[in-house]
A = this chain, B = another copy of it.
Amino acid sequence: MRHTVSALVENKPGVLVRIAGLFARRGFNIESLAVGQTEKPSISRMTIVVDVADRPLEQVSKQLNKLINVLKVSDLKASEAVERELSLFKVSAKPETRAEVIEIVDIFRAKIVDASRDELIIEATGTEDKIAAIENMLAPYGIREMSRTGKIALARGGKKTE
Protein backbone atom coordinates (compact mmCIF):
# COMPACT_ATOMS: atom_id res chain seq x y z
CA MET A 1 0.00 0.00 0.00
CA ARG A 2 1.23 3.47 -0.79
CA HIS A 3 1.76 5.80 2.13
CA THR A 4 2.59 9.47 2.37
CA VAL A 5 4.87 10.13 5.31
CA SER A 6 5.43 13.70 6.38
CA ALA A 7 8.39 14.53 8.63
CA LEU A 8 9.34 17.85 10.17
CA VAL A 9 13.12 17.93 10.51
CA GLU A 10 15.80 20.38 11.57
CA ASN A 11 17.57 21.83 8.59
CA LYS A 12 21.03 20.30 9.24
CA PRO A 13 23.53 18.25 7.24
CA GLY A 14 23.12 14.54 7.85
CA VAL A 15 19.39 14.41 8.60
CA LEU A 16 18.53 13.23 5.12
CA VAL A 17 21.16 10.46 5.25
CA ARG A 18 19.77 9.11 8.51
CA ILE A 19 16.19 9.11 7.22
CA ALA A 20 17.06 7.66 3.82
CA GLY A 21 19.19 5.04 5.59
CA LEU A 22 16.28 3.89 7.72
CA PHE A 23 14.19 3.21 4.62
CA ALA A 24 17.04 1.67 2.63
CA ARG A 25 18.07 -0.79 5.35
CA ARG A 26 14.62 -2.32 5.12
CA GLY A 27 14.74 -2.37 1.32
CA PHE A 28 11.85 0.11 1.10
CA ASN A 29 12.09 2.04 -2.11
CA ILE A 30 11.15 5.70 -1.84
CA GLU A 31 8.87 6.48 -4.80
CA SER A 32 9.06 10.21 -4.43
CA LEU A 33 10.54 12.63 -1.97
CA ALA A 34 10.15 16.37 -1.58
CA VAL A 35 12.22 18.34 0.90
CA GLY A 36 11.66 22.05 1.24
CA GLN A 37 11.46 24.96 3.62
CA THR A 38 8.60 25.49 6.01
CA GLU A 39 7.26 28.61 7.69
CA LYS A 40 10.25 28.35 10.06
CA PRO A 41 13.62 28.80 8.30
CA SER A 42 15.43 26.30 10.54
CA ILE A 43 12.91 23.54 9.84
CA SER A 44 12.25 21.57 6.66
CA ARG A 45 9.39 19.31 5.78
CA MET A 46 10.09 16.00 4.04
CA THR A 47 7.22 14.34 2.25
CA ILE A 48 8.02 10.73 1.42
CA VAL A 49 5.88 8.43 -0.72
CA VAL A 50 6.64 4.79 -0.10
CA ASP A 51 4.93 1.54 -1.09
CA VAL A 52 4.86 -0.64 2.01
CA ALA A 53 2.44 -2.56 4.25
CA ASP A 54 0.88 -0.76 7.25
CA ARG A 55 2.71 -2.75 9.90
CA PRO A 56 6.34 -2.26 8.81
CA LEU A 57 5.59 1.40 8.12
CA GLU A 58 4.44 1.86 11.70
CA GLN A 59 7.77 0.51 12.91
CA VAL A 60 9.71 2.81 10.60
CA SER A 61 7.65 5.81 11.76
CA LYS A 62 8.48 5.01 15.37
CA GLN A 63 12.18 4.77 14.55
CA LEU A 64 12.06 7.98 12.54
CA ASN A 65 10.54 9.73 15.54
CA LYS A 66 13.55 8.67 17.62
CA LEU A 67 16.16 10.08 15.21
CA ILE A 68 18.13 13.18 16.15
CA ASN A 69 16.87 16.32 14.36
CA VAL A 70 13.52 14.70 13.50
CA LEU A 71 10.78 16.69 15.21
CA LYS A 72 7.57 15.01 14.11
CA VAL A 73 6.46 12.21 11.80
CA SER A 74 2.97 11.52 10.53
CA ASP A 75 1.28 9.23 8.03
CA LEU A 76 -0.99 11.52 6.00
CA LYS A 77 -4.25 10.17 4.67
CA ALA A 78 -5.26 11.44 1.22
CA SER A 79 -8.82 12.11 2.39
CA GLU A 80 -7.69 14.48 5.11
CA ALA A 81 -5.01 16.39 3.22
CA VAL A 82 -4.58 18.60 0.18
CA GLU A 83 -2.00 16.74 -1.90
CA ARG A 84 -0.25 18.38 -4.82
CA GLU A 85 2.71 17.80 -7.04
CA LEU A 86 4.31 19.69 -9.89
CA SER A 87 5.52 18.22 -13.15
CA LEU A 88 7.41 19.63 -16.12
CA PHE A 89 6.95 17.84 -19.45
CA LYS A 90 9.06 18.48 -22.55
CA VAL A 91 6.88 17.35 -25.41
CA SER A 92 7.41 17.13 -29.16
CA ALA A 93 5.12 19.60 -30.86
CA LYS A 94 5.74 20.20 -34.51
CA PRO A 95 3.69 22.91 -36.24
CA GLU A 96 1.11 20.35 -37.42
CA THR A 97 0.47 18.88 -33.92
CA ARG A 98 1.04 21.98 -31.78
CA ALA A 99 -2.66 22.93 -31.64
CA GLU A 100 -3.59 19.46 -30.33
CA VAL A 101 -0.97 19.67 -27.59
CA ILE A 102 -2.17 23.16 -26.60
CA GLU A 103 -5.72 21.76 -26.36
CA ILE A 104 -4.55 19.17 -23.80
CA VAL A 105 -2.73 21.91 -21.87
CA ASP A 106 -6.00 23.89 -21.69
CA ILE A 107 -8.10 20.89 -20.62
CA PHE A 108 -5.81 20.28 -17.63
CA ARG A 109 -5.35 23.99 -16.87
CA ALA A 110 -1.63 23.46 -17.33
CA LYS A 111 0.75 26.15 -18.64
CA ILE A 112 3.23 26.38 -21.49
CA VAL A 113 6.44 27.73 -19.97
CA ASP A 114 8.88 27.42 -22.89
CA ALA A 115 8.64 26.83 -26.62
CA SER A 116 11.14 26.02 -29.33
CA ARG A 117 10.65 25.08 -32.98
CA ASP A 118 9.55 21.53 -32.31
CA GLU A 119 9.12 21.28 -28.53
CA LEU A 120 7.01 22.73 -25.76
CA ILE A 121 7.73 22.69 -22.03
CA ILE A 122 4.51 22.27 -20.04
CA GLU A 123 4.01 22.91 -16.32
CA ALA A 124 1.20 20.94 -14.66
CA THR A 125 0.14 20.77 -11.03
CA GLY A 126 -2.40 18.60 -9.28
CA THR A 127 -2.88 15.31 -7.57
CA GLU A 128 -0.89 12.30 -8.70
CA ASP A 129 -3.90 11.06 -10.68
CA LYS A 130 -4.20 14.31 -12.59
CA ILE A 131 -0.48 14.32 -13.42
CA ALA A 132 -0.80 10.70 -14.60
CA ALA A 133 -3.79 11.66 -16.77
CA ILE A 134 -2.01 14.52 -18.52
CA GLU A 135 1.05 12.32 -18.98
CA ASN A 136 -1.15 9.71 -20.70
CA MET A 137 -2.64 12.32 -23.00
CA LEU A 138 0.75 13.80 -23.92
CA ALA A 139 2.52 10.46 -24.39
CA PRO A 140 1.38 9.86 -28.01
CA TYR A 141 3.05 13.14 -29.07
CA GLY A 142 6.37 12.08 -27.53
CA ILE A 143 7.44 13.05 -24.01
CA ARG A 144 11.14 13.77 -24.44
CA GLU A 145 11.76 14.63 -20.80
CA MET A 146 9.72 14.71 -17.63
CA SER A 147 10.64 15.93 -14.17
CA ARG A 148 8.34 15.62 -11.15
CA THR A 149 8.71 17.18 -7.73
CA GLY A 150 7.08 14.43 -5.71
CA LYS A 151 4.03 15.13 -3.61
CA ILE A 152 3.60 17.66 -0.80
CA ALA A 153 0.56 17.83 1.48
CA LEU A 154 -1.15 19.94 4.16
CA ALA A 155 -4.06 18.86 6.37
CA ARG A 156 -7.48 20.17 5.29
CA GLY A 157 -10.33 21.72 7.17
CA GLY A 158 -8.54 23.95 9.65
CA LYS A 159 -6.55 21.07 11.18
CA LYS A 160 -2.82 21.14 11.81
CA THR A 161 -0.78 18.91 9.45
CA GLU A 162 1.38 17.02 11.95
List chain A positions with a Cβ less than 8 A from chain B.
11-14, 16-17, 20-21, 23-24, 27-39, 44-45, 47, 82, 84-88, 90, 113-114, 116-119, 121, 123, 125, 143-150, 152-154, 156-158, 160-161
Contact = CB atoms under 8 A, between A and B. Distances in A.
Given A12-B29, A29-B12, A34 B145 contact: no
A16 B24 CA distance: 8
B145 A38 contact: yes
Could you tell me the dominant secondary structure of chain A's interface residues?
strand
Given A30-B35, A86-B86, A113-B84, A153 B147 contact: yes
A134 to B, nearest CB: 13
Copies of this chain: 2
Contacts of A32: 35-37, 44
Given A12-B29, A36-B85, A119-B158, 12 more contacts: A11-B29, A13-B28, A16-B30, A32-B35, A34-B34, A39-B143, A45-B148, A47-B147, A86-B149, A86-B152, A116-B157, A147-B153
Give 5 nearest A-B pairs by CB, closest first.
A36-B148, A116-B158, A149-B149, A86-B86, A33-B35
Contact of A160 (B23, B27, B145): B145
A26 to B, nearest CB: 8
12 contacts: A13-B28, A13-B29, A16-B16, A16-B24, A32-B37, A34-B35, A34-B150, A37-B146, A82-B121, A86-B86, A145-B154, A148-B152
